[in-house]
Structure 1
Amino acid sequence: MSETANPGADARRVALFVTCLVDLFRPSVGFAAIKLLEDAGCRVVVPTSQTCCGQPAYNSGDREDTKAIARQVIETFEGYDHVVAPSGSCAAMLKKHYPELFAGDREWEARAQAFSDKVSELVSFLTDVLGVTAVDAKVAGSATYHDSCSGLRELGIREQPRQLLSSVEGLTLTELEDADVCCGFGGTFCIKYPDVSNAIVTKKAKRVKQSGADMLLAGDLGCLMNMDGKLKREGTAVEVRHVAEVLAGMTDAPPIGGKL
């Protein structure tokens, strides 16, 4: 994805942290995020030198490589008014763990904190920072929403996506039982403990089917891909999409795991 901006000279200059999974597997989420931000009056920039947030290395205990990645991210993004990510887990890494990572570092501690203060998850930024209460989108059908762990527990994101989804014309939102329970992905967790991960996602897939919804939505692509994989293996015809795609009204592309 390349740099883009709307023409409002006085608009907030927002840098989009695309995330690895969006860039490699679901670029449509990035374009949906840009549309939502521009519709809210932001000038959006997508720095082409951005890399991973460092979360896989961090969760594996590799602090030195994480710091090297974090320094590059901070240098790339610290010149913008805001940094927005369409992912609760990546946003939490940037906002919560970067300051901890550089605690006591005389050169980087203040820079990490100043950077993290600018970071928001996409839906939270729209509602909590910009004050957006509704979107101009039309999507027919029913949907249910899964609260990803990092967004919910580290960033307090729960009501924000539901508020905006309630404004989507034609969409009926059905609450998912145990919506706040982990889907079993957990980044490297699903690789280290595949049997436990599968047991967790099996329960989540059951709840999704019980909801009766046409679509499953969430704010983290890793969770969505994990749940979609399980639903597909069980032969469940539920469309799985990132919440940004629905809020932007950009559902022409096939759902996650769908055929072109």
Structure 2
Amino acid sequence: MRPKVGLFITCLADGMRPSIPWAATRLLEHAGYEVVVPMDQTCCGQPAHNSGDAHTARLLAQKFLDEFEAFDFVVAPSGSCMGTIKTHYADLFNGHSDLLRRYERLQPRLYELTDFLTHVAGLKSLPGAYSGRLTYHDSCSGLRELGIKRQPRNLLALHAGVELVELEQCEQCCGFGGAFAVKYGNISAAIADDKCAHIHASGAEAVVMGDLGCMLHIEGRLRRIGDTQTRVSHIAEVLAGTEPGDA
């Protein structure tokens, strides 16, 4: 019997780019896992948590726990969502002993997608082909909360046709930051302009990353400044050899 992975597809991917969870499913199945997507899943609670609404965040965290605690593993194609789940839920459940105990049993089984494929699945091949000159943007939450750095690069190296060019200041924020982009639009846009300049300087055909928030922000800024050619892709899409719209 194959181990069961509960796939948390994330709000943004569900609403804006369903090709990402489809690509993640393809990768996980290729690695030998049975993938289950709980259909009642919603938000991880990150927006509420970041805004100081602990009550709403806790309700969403409990909902996540109810839906995912029975799986062998839980995987999300998002460093920011999994960063919230893996590093902040303990604080949300503080003072709620039963919830905290249940979460502590689940916590070791929580993974961001590339971390799971690297350290649990030990993926050595990919289910699709991809070629081109790419650069990689390290999203803040995945990098700083989960230590996602080498994992996506090592997986990209499994594509013989991929040339990875390191992005200058690849660890610098893109400027999205959730509500930050709304509250401080001018600053957010200036940070995005710096990111876009580094992407252009890399000479890459596409910029790849592991968070849809960053993708929406960077792609939106590239298009606003007149760049209609640079592709903005999620790491799952590239690894699976799929394109947006393939879902």
Short-chain TM bin: over 0.9
- Give the structure 2 partner of residue 198 of structure 1: 189
Aligned partners of 1:162 and 1:134: how far apart in 2? Answer: 14
Letter in 2 for 1:250: T
Letter in 1 for 2:191: I
Instruction: Compute the TM-score of the two structures, normalised by the length of structure 1.
Output: 0.91
Letter in 2 for 1:21: L
- Give the structure 1 partner of residue 237 of structure 2: 245
Aligned partners of 1:184 and 1:173: how far apart in 2? Answer: 23
- On the 8 A contact 1:145/1:179 being kept in 2, the answer is yes
CA RMSD between the two structures: 1.2
- Give the structure 1 partner of residue 208 of structure 2: 217
Deviations, residues 23-44 of structure 1 (Å, cap 9, x unaligned) = 0000000100000000000000
Aligned partners of 1:32 and 1:16: how far apart in 2? Answer: 12
Larger helix share, 1 or 2? 2
Q: Secondary structure at the match of 1:14?
A: strand
Q: Say which of 129, 139, 162 aligns to 2:120.
A: 129
- Give the structure 2 partner of residue 49 of structure 1: 40
- Give the structure 2 partner of residue 21 of structure 1: 12
* Structure 1 residues without counterparts, runs of 5 or longer: 1-9, 255-260
Say whether residues 1:87 and 2:78 are aligned partners: yes
- On the 8 A contact 1:29/1:86 being kept in 2, the answer is yes
- Give the structure 1 partner of residue 111 of structure 2: 120
Q: Secondary structure at the match of 1:18?
A: coil
- Give the structure 1 partner of residue 167 of structure 2: 176
Q: Say which of 145, 152, 155 aligns to 1:154.
A: 145
Q: Say which of 27, 30, 47 aligns to 1:36.
A: 27
* Bigger RCO of structures 1 and 2 (CA < 8 A, at least 6 apart): 2
Letter in 2 for 1:117: P
Instruction: Compute the TM-score of the two structures, normalised by the length of structure 2.
Output: 0.96
- On the 8 A contact 2:208/2:232 being kept in 1, the answer is yes
Number of positions where the alignment pairs a residue of Structure 1 with one of Structure 2: 245
- On the 8 A contact 2:17/2:244 being kept in 1, the answer is no
Letter in 2 for 1:140: S
Task: Give runs of ≥4 in structure 1 deviating > 4 Å.
Answer: none
